[in-house]
A = this chain, B = another copy of it.
Amino acid sequence: MLDVSDLRFVTALSTAPSLAAAARTLGVTPPAVSQRLALLEDRLHLRLIERGRGQLRLTAEGAYLVDRAKGVLDDIESLAEDMSARAGRIDGPLHVIAPFGFGRLRVAPVLTRFGEENPELRPMLSLREDPVGAMNDGLWDVLVHVGRLPNLRITQRKLAPNRRLLVASADYAGRVGLPQKPQDMAAHRVGVVRENQADASLWPLTGPDGIEMNLRVQPVYSCNDGEVLRAWALDGFGIVERSEWSISADLRAGRLVRVLPDWSLPDADIVALLNPRAVRSLRIDKFVERLTAEISAMPMA
């Protein structure tokens, strides 16, 4: 009577603002959704979704169906996972969320290779400006984040250490000179990565003797893409605070030099989060394992 595809269909509908929207996410035309819903309702002799005046609304029966459907779907999917794990197979969909810069430059290559090695895997990499905000969407397996997240029930697996460094181009250092103490910063042009709600222009510095101080800077340039800011620094426009993973190659090559090397900012270790709501699977474990190995081994290039 009821089929898994019916349950999937109706749960997909339940989160869509309109049938047309559902059609788009399902990758079919609106009539397909409309008539399939009508057919299902006929079959059950029940109205599932009230679709008058604009907004979709689940009826009581629809809501009940969706609710129970989620349970059944979870169950059968976890069963499929179990079977796949018993076969020692790495297959199925793997949703990874990562921040823009790090995701593109560090996670993507690993995921791509992992996908090539396991032809039945269907990797999906979603680069977000705000990975943490995407957490509650539910549809992800692994979330990579730069910087430990406080106040989380989810266990965070450390992929690699990562410091935040103040840097400027060698050219800038030669032309303008570098600050020798935090207070000198005010005389310099500063760029910051303004990602989430955190106050990017307040730097909690720790000095050589363990002295702590909060330095308020007046950024002349801000961007939510660290790579843009790195380029800005490489072009000699000013001093930026940047993750070690991003600019260590530049440091080694001498394109960038550290600013106030005796002062440090809080570490922003790279961590991976596993979605507690997702079914645990072999592919997830193996991928995180791989990620840990490769990210740690990366020459911070």
How far is it, in angstroms, between the C-alpha of A66 and the C-alpha of B1 when the chains are bound? 20
Query: A66 to chain B: closest CB distance in Å?
Result: 11
Task: Bits for A51-91, please: 1 = Cβ < 8 Å to B, else 0.
Answer: 00000000001001100110110011101101110110100
Residue A186, interface by CB 8 Å: no
Contact: B86 with A76, CB < 8 Å?
Answer: no
Set B4, B46, B72, B86: member contacting A46, Cβ < 8 A: B86
Residue A2, interface by CB 8 Å: yes
Contact: B92 with A79, CB < 8 Å?
Answer: no
CB neighbours (8 Å) of A45 from chain B are: 84, 87, 89
Set B1, B4, B46, B64: member contacting A3, Cβ < 8 A: B4
How far is it, in angstroms, between the C-alpha of A86 and the C-alpha of B68 when the chains are bound? 14
CB neighbours (8 Å) of A223 from chain B are: none
Query: A61 to chain B: closest CB distance in Å?
Result: 5
Query: A6 to chain B: closest CB distance in Å?
Result: 9
Set B68, B82, B84, B89: member contacting A82, Cβ < 8 A: B68
Residue A220, interface by CB 8 Å: no
This chain's copy number in the assembly: 2
Contact: A79 with B72, CB < 8 Å?
Answer: yes
CB neighbours (8 Å) of A79 from chain B are: 2, 65, 68-69, 72
Query: A68 to chain B: closest CB distance in Å?
Result: 5
Closest-by-CB residue of B relative to A93 is B1
Contact: B4 with A80, CB < 8 Å?
Answer: no
CB neighbours (8 Å) of A46 from chain B are: 83, 86-87
Query: A81 to chain B: closest CB distance in Å?
Result: 9
CB neighbours (8 Å) of A2 from chain B are: 4, 76, 79-80, 83
CB neighbours (8 Å) of A71 from chain B are: 75
CB neighbours (8 Å) of A83 from chain B are: 2, 44, 46, 61, 64-65
Contact: A84 with B3, CB < 8 Å?
Answer: no
Contact: A44 with B87, CB < 8 Å?
Answer: yes
Query: A53 to chain B: closest CB distance in Å?
Result: 25
Contact: A61 with B86, CB < 8 Å?
Answer: yes
Closest-by-CB residue of B relative to A78 is B68
Q: For chain A residues 24-41, which have a beta carbon within 8 Å of chain B?
A: none
CB neighbours (8 Å) of A61 from chain B are: 83, 86-87
Closest 6 A/B residue pairs (Cβ): A45-B87, A1-B80, A2-B80, A46-B87, A68-B79, A44-B83
Selected A-B contacts with CB under 8 Å, 12 pairs: A1-B77, A3-B4, A4-B76, A44-B84, A44-B87, A46-B83, A46-B87, A64-B83, A68-B75, A68-B79, A72-B75, A75-B75
17 additional contacts (CB under 8 A) given A45-B89, A68-B82, A69-B79: A2-B79, A2-B83, A3-B3, A3-B4, A4-B76, A44-B84, A44-B87, A45-B84, A46-B86, A46-B87, A64-B82, A64-B86, A65-B83, A68-B75, A72-B72, A72-B75, A72-B79
